[in-house]
């Protein structure tokens, strides 16, 4: 005889299990959707445009003038964001031992904050790559304003 749980769930010993069948269908559906949404170059450009090309003003609402879209290194809880971001950039430059004769390639260069700081600080050659047109325009303006 079937238990009370089996009666309520529609399960019985040796019988068809609709839950397992439904899970299999759902799994196949999600697998097909995953395959059909491969991240092609065109799709990557659309993804970047959707996220990063919102507007530079939107991002500037929660970032400082360096426009760093990554964690800062704070010395104290009262320190302002710009000082903490510059500390992070300087730590990266120091740890990488960047010198004047070096050539740097930054993939995903954002708004150019690291580029400006590393070139001003070391005199190295720098190349940045981005898929974001908005970030590129912003970075080019900042680089020009910095005289680089």
**Residue 12 pLDDT:** 54
Mean model confidence pLDDT for the chain: 84
Comparison of pLDDT for 100 and 41, the residue scoring more? 100
- Per-residue pLDDT tens over the stretch 3-14: 665 565 555 555
CATH number of 56-145: 3.40.50.150
Question: Contact, 114 vs 84, CB < 8 A?
Answer: no
The residue written with tokens 């097909």 in the block is 32
Q: What is the pLDDT of residues 41-65, one digit of tens each?
A: 888 778 877 877 778 888 888 888 8
Q: What global pTM score does this model have?
A: 0.66
In this prediction, residues 84-94 reach a mean pLDDT of: 96
Task: Please report, for the chain, the start and end positions of each structural domain, with discontinuous segments joined by +.
Answer: 4-36, 56-145
């Amino acid at each position: 005889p079937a238990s009370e749980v089996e009666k309520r769930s529609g399960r019985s010993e040796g019988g068809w299990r609709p839950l397992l069948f439904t899970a299999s269908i759902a799994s196949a559906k999600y697998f097909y959707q995953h395959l059909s949404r491969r991240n092609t170059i065109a799709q990557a450009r659309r993804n970047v445009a959707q996220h990063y090309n919102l507007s530079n003003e939107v991002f500037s609402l929660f970032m400082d003038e360096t426009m760093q879209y990554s964690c800062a290194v704070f010395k104290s809880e009262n320190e302002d964001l710009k000082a903490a971001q510059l500390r992070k950039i300087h730590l990266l430059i120091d740890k990488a031992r960047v010198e004047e004769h070096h050539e740097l390639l930054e993939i995903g260069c954002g708004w150019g904050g690291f580029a400006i700081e590393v070139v001003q600080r070391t005199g190295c050659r720098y190349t940045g790559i981005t898929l974001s047109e908005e970030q590129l325009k912003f970075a080019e303006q900042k680089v020009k304003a910095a005289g680089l």
